[in-house]
Structure 1
Amino acid sequence: MTALVPPPSTSGKGLLDRVEDALLPLINLVFLLLMFFIVAGQLTEQPLPKLPSSTQSKQEQAPEADLIVNADGQWKVRGATLTEASLLSQLPEPDSSNPLKIAAEQSLTMADLEQLLRLLEDGGYTDVLLLTEPGA
């Protein structure tokens, strides 16, 4: 009867020696890559060129918000301060292609913003954009 599995090749080396021989080219490759990045990444005396900052590319006019929220929680639409009862009637109709734009002051608490977002969600507004100012 013949064996279904051929006998292992016996080159006189053990399993550990064969694994070490297979890893040697990989170690050489990693070493060469390391040397390449050391040489290619030399620091130069020339500083990097300045990238354009957001202050240079400021828009002439800020985007117009449908609703402005002050830090004390006041809601303003077209300059008029509104209450919770009159807010939804003064805002534009909910439209999925044109989301409601909200501009909130930086010091507004998350609790006040969450209260406003819940009120808007109850009013049918599913898409809202929160306008922010770029950091200085």
Structure 2
Amino acid sequence: MPLTKPSRRTQSEPTIALINIVFLMLVFFMIAGALAPTLDEDIRLISTAELEGRAPPDTTVLRADGTLFLRGEVVTVQQAVEASMLGPNGADLRLVADREVPAKTLMSRVAELRGAGAESVWLVTERGLEQ
């Protein structure tokens, strides 16, 4: 009795199923995007090109020389953290840094603020939009 070789089974390509799923997701998002309401064509968005920027009143300001200011007065790290605890943000401290502050100084001040009890330090920046 001669031994026969078992017939080799062809395996289906697993990437075909993945391609089908991706295609279905593409169709779904195209339809969902088309059904989403668009902006009214008569609406003109607010322009902030000439908006005068200033720090929010309850933020700590870090000047280029590394000093901290709050409400126009020089404060210590501990005073800044204590003042932020009394504000609406709780233990989250908002910090406005001068653009001339070296990154090393900024990071050391943030570490000092975190060490003094601030849970998180939010850096307030200016958004530059080009038109």
Q: What is the TM-score with the length of structure 1 in the denominator?
A: 0.50
Greater shift, 97-106 or 66-75, is seen at 97-106
Q: Which residue of 2 aligns with 1:6?
A: 7
Contact persistence 1:94–1:100 (CA under 8 A): no
The change in CA–CA distance for 1:83 and 1:125 in structure 2 (over 3 A counts) is closer
| Cα 1:94–1:120 shift into 2, 3 Å | farther
2:78 touches 2:116 (CA, 8 Å); kept in 1? no
Shift of 1:131: 0.5
Deviation digits for residues 97-127 of structure 1 (CA, Å, limit 9, x no counterpart):
6421100011111121122112111111121
RMSD between superposed Cα atoms in Å: 3.7
Which structure has the larger Rg? 1
Counterpart of 2:97? 104
Equivalent residue number for residue 135 of structure 1? 128
| Stretches of structure 1 lacking an aligned partner (at least 5 in a row) | 9-51
Residue 134 of structure 1 aligns with an amino acid whose one-letter code is: R
Percent identical pairs in the alignment equals 20
Change (3 A) 1:112 1:7: closer
Pick aligned residue for 2:85 from 77, 83, 93: 93
Q: How many residues of Structure 1 are paired with residues of Structure 2 in the alignment? A: 90
Offset of residue 93 of structure 1: 1.7
5 Å-filtered alignment, 1:37-116, equals 56-57=47-48, 62=54, 64=56, 65-84=58-77, 86-89=79-82, 91-93=83-85, 98=90, 99-116=92-109
Name the residue aligned to 2:24: none
1:66-92 residue CA offsets vs partner (Å, 9 max, x unmatched): 200111212101110124565444x22
* In structure 2, distance between residues paired with 1:5 and 1:94: 79
Residue number in structure 2 paired with 1:125: 118
Structure 2 gaps, min length 5: 10-43
